[in-house]
Amino acid sequence: MYFSSWLSQLCRALSRPIGRTSQPIWVSLCRNVVLSSQRKIPEFSSFVSRTNTCGELRPSHLGQEVTLCGWIQYRRQNIFLVLRDCHGLVQVVIPQDESAASVKKVLCEAPLESVVRISGTVISRPPGQENPKMPTGAIEIQVKTAELLNSCRKLPFEIKDFVKKTEALRLQYRYLDLRSVQMQHNLRVRSQMVMKMREYLCNLHGFVDVETPTLFKRTPGGAKEFLVPSREPGKFYSLPQSPQQFKQLLMIGGLDRYFQVARCYRDEGSRPDRQPEFTQIDIEMSFVDKTGIQSLTEGLLQYSWPSDKDPVVIPFPSMTFAEALATYGTDKPDTRFEMKITDISDVFRNTKSEFLQNALREPQGTVKAICVREGAKYLKRKDIESIRKCATDHFNQEVLPVFLKAGSNWNSAVAKFIVEEHRLELTRIMELREDDVVLLAAGEHEKACSLLGKLRLKCADLLEGRGVVLRDPAQFSFLWVVDFPLFFPKEDNPKELESAHHPFTAPHPSDSHLLYTEPEKVRSQHYDLVLNGNEIGGGSIRIHNAELQRYVLSTLLKEDVTLLSHLLQALDHGAPPHGGIALGLDRLMCLVTGAPSIRDVIAFPKSFRGHDLMSNAPDSVPAEELKPYHIQVSWPTDSEAENSLNHSHHPES
């Protein structure tokens, strides 16, 4: 008797689509290996004591004697078991005859998730018992020998995808969580994609993979750098946030084309979806301009993109920072959907509404709007309330959201200010139709845009909660954002400047003359790469002139240049023009795999408080072990300790 209904249930769980593809993950993984650049499938069973992997067996293997190693995923009435390895599942028939009693004993007594090695023959499933949804569903294994390699104690949770676990439990038992189909898939796709990137950079374009140190010295303003005490009293290494200085020094050293899959460190305390250590694809080239880096990056992503997804179309569209802010209210627009910001200031030039008049009289005063198409159909009263709350929570009264229903009744508190003439003009400019909802913000340009940018995403969330698909998860919309300002006013002291990105960014050639007169107006040669509303990379053409770099650091930014004297000196010794980019690998893989969190594309992630929940790192260290480093712990006072204690009681994830 066969239990095809159970198996098909299991297979349904395993064939959960990734993105919009409807293929089982195992199938898509295999296809990926075959299709990408037409290379042959790797030998997955070389060097080990199996002849095949569980997942690869097909009718073409019929009659073959095979040896398999794997975990017992499921057993049914001591007649079948399902054996799993990292390539998939296969059904194993437990022998029932007396002569095979010892084999039966091994296979029936081992707890689930025990590890066994079996040998046997690949046979057809009886007619009608095939499972077309399971890649190995046409065959099964007639076992001859079985060996228990390791027994499994009781598990804290089952290794099945449809068993929901809390993330804290998953992180505590990460070695079990890694057995899940999704984690196996994510880590393999990551490895394959990075390998393709390396092929593109090294083999096609002559880049040199150079490893740079992570024990370095602190950088100016490096407040987010982890410290590493050395054996010299009072001397510390820093774990750098990126290999920025090293990659520039490599260019000065004539390395010409550098890349590294670089481990970076950032100590930001508790931040959700950030990791204290993360990985970036770090690239730098000499004699290059913005266009060169952009083309390289586009080619890189196109070449390495998983072959089971739609090919990446290049070149990517580009938008200035100013345009992104005015149109999407953010420097990382999600361009998968419209709902763009419209400037409607002109409509209200002659309004009688004091509120609007006041807004327009401010410096850079504007009235802006977004249109939520068919919003009236989908948005409930409580949605409108939550939008309003979002607006007031994030912004003060200088910016006021106004809700207008485009249809017959302009149902809004502010509607009374809007005379028929304005209403017609608005309808014309924004092409409003019955059931559209308009969100209106009046105030200073940047603030109004920024508010509407946030409300745009909020509305997309709300509409999608009501079943409207705005952002196709299988669509990948890349966008360059360029022409950022070189400096921003410091938040705590707007009279001083800080770098918008970092102090090595070169000014835009058209604005260089302003550096000495109106530095706040200078645009930079920085570029960000945005994917579906996430910044996945950023880079710039760097300053290669020592004098200019010194002026920016010391005169404009008032930094302590002694910490960078080696770099300034290097720029004086024949530094070539150079530029580069860094892609955030964790975030990119998160988007590629459709994972809900970067913790799902990292083998051993830390909790959002920076803890390893499996091993309990960071941990206490005996005072004796601190001595060689000439440090001691400054234990907090009672009240400080209490704060810290409360803090550590926050839920982990």
**# of chain residues touching a copy of itself (CB under 8 A):** 139
Contacts with a copy of itself in 351-370 (CB under 8 A)? Answer: none
- Which of 625, 646, 649, 651 is in the footprint of a copy of itself by CB under 8 A? 625
- Distance between CA atoms of 591 and 600, rounded to whole angstroms? 11
Determine the interface stretch with a copy of itself among 12-20, 305-313, 401-409, 606-614 (rule: CB under 8 A).
606-614
- Which of 191, 358, 364, 392 is in the footprint of a copy of itself by CB under 8 A? 191
Q: Which residue, 288 or 515, has its beta carbon nearer to a copy of itself?
A: 288
Contacts with a copy of itself in 375-404 (CB under 8 A)? Answer: none
- Integer-rounded Cα Rg, in Å, for the chain is 30
Contacts with a copy of itself in 265-304 (CB under 8 A)? Answer: 265, 267, 269, 276-277, 279, 285-289, 292-293, 295-296
Secondary structure of 195-234 in HEC code, one letter for each residue = HHHHHHHHHHCCCEECCCCCCECCCCCCCCCEEEECCCCC
Q: CA 36, 37, 38, 39 torsion: positive or negative?
A: negative
Provide, rounded to whole angstroms, the least separation between the CB of residue 15 and a copy of itself: 19
- Distance between CA atoms of 207 and 373, rounded to whole angstroms? 48
Question: Measured between alpha carbons, how far is residue 597 from residues 3, 275, 467 in Å?
Answer: 36, 11, 22
Contacts with a copy of itself in 626-645 (CB under 8 A)? Answer: 626-627, 629-636, 641, 644
Contacts with a copy of itself in 108-167 (CB under 8 A)? Answer: 113-115, 117, 149-153, 155
Determine the interface stretch with a copy of itself among 440-448, 484-492, 520-528, 603-611 (rule: CB under 8 A).
603-611
Q: Which residue, 171 or 463, has its beta carbon nearer to a copy of itself?
A: 171
528 membership: H or E segment, kind and range: strand 526-531
- Which of 160, 198, 340, 550 is in the footprint of a copy of itself by CB under 8 A? 198
Give the CA dihedral 301, 303, 305, 308, nearest 10 degrees: 160
Q: Is 529 exposed, middle or buried (0-12, 13-18, 19+ CB in 10 A)?
A: buried
561 binds a copy of itself per the rule CB under 8 A: no
Q: Which residue, 286 or 342, has its beta carbon nearer to a copy of itself?
A: 286
Cβ–Cβ under 8 Å, residues 355 and 442? yes
236 binds a copy of itself per the rule CB under 8 A: yes
- Distance between CA atoms of 69 and 119, rounded to whole angstroms? 9
- Which of 131, 212, 342, 366 is in the footprint of a copy of itself by CB under 8 A? 212
509 binds a copy of itself per the rule CB under 8 A: no
Provide, rounded to whole angstroms, the least separation between the CB of residue 618 and a copy of itself: 4
Cβ–Cβ under 8 Å, residues 14 and 27? no
Determine the interface stretch with a copy of itself among 6-14, 221-229, 328-336, 391-399 (rule: CB under 8 A).
221-229
Determine the interface stretch with a copy of itself among 210-218, 402-410, 477-485, 527-535 (rule: CB under 8 A).
210-218
Instruction: Give me 316's structure tokens.
Output: 């990517």
643 membership: H or E segment, kind and range: helix 638-648
187 binds a copy of itself per the rule CB under 8 A: yes
- Which of 174, 185, 422, 542 is in the footprint of a copy of itself by CB under 8 A? 174
- Please enumerate in sequence order all residues whose Cβ is within 8 A of that of 613, keeping only pairs 6 or more positions apart, or say none: 168, 171, 172, 174, 607, 652
- Distance between CA atoms of 472 and 19, rounded to whole angstroms? 9
Closest CA to 600 of 274, 186, 161: 186
Q: Which residue, 255 or 312, has its beta carbon nearer to a copy of itself?
A: 255
Q: Which residue, 78 or 150, has its beta carbon nearer to a copy of itself?
A: 150
- Which of 209, 310, 385, 421 is in the footprint of a copy of itself by CB under 8 A? 209
Q: Which residue, 203 or 396, has its beta carbon nearer to a copy of itself?
A: 203
Provide, rounded to whole angstroms, the least separation between the CB of residue 515 and a copy of itself: 18
- Which of 253, 446, 498, 514 is in the footprint of a copy of itself by CB under 8 A? 253
If phi > 0 it is left, if psi is from -120 to 50 it is alpha, else beta; for residue 374 that is: left
Q: Which residue, 108 or 123, has its beta carbon nearer to a copy of itself?
A: 108
441 membership: H or E segment, kind and range: strand 437-444
Cβ–Cβ under 8 Å, residues 138 and 125? yes
512 binds a copy of itself per the rule CB under 8 A: no
Q: Which residue, 255 or 419, has its beta carbon nearer to a copy of itself?
A: 255
- Which of 1, 99, 132, 232 is in the footprint of a copy of itself by CB under 8 A? 232
Provide, rounded to whole angstroms, the least separation between the CB of residue 143 and a copy of itself: 17
Backbone angles phi and psi of 170, in degrees to 5: -60, -40
Determine the interface stretch with a copy of itself among 306-314, 318-326, 381-389, 600-608 (rule: CB under 8 A).
600-608
Determine the interface stretch with a copy of itself among 235-243, 305-313, 322-330, 505-513 (rule: CB under 8 A).
235-243
407 binds a copy of itself per the rule CB under 8 A: no
Cis peptide before 618 (omega within 30 of 0): yes
- Distance between CA atoms of 90 and 125, rounded to whole angstroms? 12
Provide, rounded to whole angstroms, the least separation between the CB of residue 616 and a copy of itself: 6
- Which of 619, 638, 646, 651 is in the footprint of a copy of itself by CB under 8 A? 619
Q: Which residue, 236 or 355, has its beta carbon nearer to a copy of itself?
A: 236
Contacts with a copy of itself in 38-97 (CB under 8 A)? Answer: 39, 42-44, 46-50, 69, 71, 84-86
264 binds a copy of itself per the rule CB under 8 A: no
Closest CA to 373 of 462, 449, 476: 462
Instruction: Give me 152's structure tokens.
Output: 């499994």
Closest CA to 122 of 97, 101, 143, 95: 143
- Distance between CA atoms of 200 and 194, rounded to whole angstroms? 10
